Amino acid sequence: MSLLDVIKGRRSIRRFKKRDIPREYLEKIMEAARWAPSAGNLQSRKFLIVKNPQLKNEIANAAYRQSFIAEAPVVIVACADLERSALGYGERGRNLYCLFDVAAAVENMLLTIHELGLGACWVGAFDERLVSEILDIPSTLRPVTIVPLGYPAEKPSPPPRMSLEEAFNIID
Ligand SMILES: Cc1cc2nc3c(=O)[nH]c(=O)nc-3n(C[C@H](O)[C@H](O)[C@H](O)COP(=O)(O)O)c2cc1C
């Protein structure tokens, strides 16, 4: 698969088979996240990998009952390291760069997950305070994205995208 094939073929997957993910696959996914760009190479991000069924259930409830989260064998909670970014870049680091650091890593993970024949979904709708409580996340970290992943049990059609003309303005 070319990189563009991987990018275009990735879909949000919300149904998973009851099958574990091999350790070497998880390692590849973590490696892809580790090599994402970050502001000043500070890598102001931290990932919690949750396999515990009780915790996955609680996370799904904290995500406004998006129950598919609990059905994934692995749930990654991606956190922005606010203080690490603030040390380098002050308020812009705390409010913006660390979020980009996480987002870049999450996209790398999603593409690698798809390349491996697995599926995942970027979940942004959740109560951050509740998720922090459930996983005992310190206040210096802000959980910003949840990524449930596993073997896909569905094959969704690609949702439409804006045309190139809508999405881009070329300024000569
Ligand atoms: C910032 C962000 C937040 C999202 N939050 C959710 C979510 O809470 N629940 C969900 O099911 N999908 C969520 N999604 C997935 C989008 O619905 C999905 O990416 C979009 O519909 C396009 O479909 P595709 O990923 O298959 O291309 C989110 C995606 C992004 C980038």
Query: What is the tens place of the pLDDT at every residue in 98-117?
Result: 999 999 999 999 999 999 99
Using the mean position of ligand 1's atoms as its centre, give its distance from the Cα of residue 124 in Å.
Answer: 7
Of all atoms in ligand 1, which is nearest to the CA of residue 63? Answer: 8
- Which residues of the chain have a pLDDT value below 70? none
Using the mean position of ligand 1's atoms as its centre, give its distance from the Cα of residue 81 in Å.
Answer: 23
Closest-CA residue to 75 (of 108, 52, 99, 100): 52
Of all protein residues, whose CA lies closest to atom 25 belonging to ligand 1?
12
Spatial CB neighbours of 39, under 8 Å, sequence gap ≥ 6: 85, 88, 89, 93, 97, 98, 100, 101
Ligand 1 mutation target, pool 121, 126, 127, 162, most atoms within 8 A of CB: 121
Ligand 1 contact, 123 CB (< 6 A): yes
Assigned CATH for 3-150: 3.40.109.10
Q: What is the pLDDT of residue 37?
A: 98
41 φ/ψ sector (left φ>0, alpha ψ -120 to 50, else beta) = left
Q: What is the pLDDT of residue 74?
A: 98
Q: What is the pLDDT of residue 126?
A: 99
Q: What is the pLDDT of residue 167?
A: 98
Q: What is the pLDDT of residue 115?
A: 98
Q: What is the pLDDT of residue 159?
A: 98
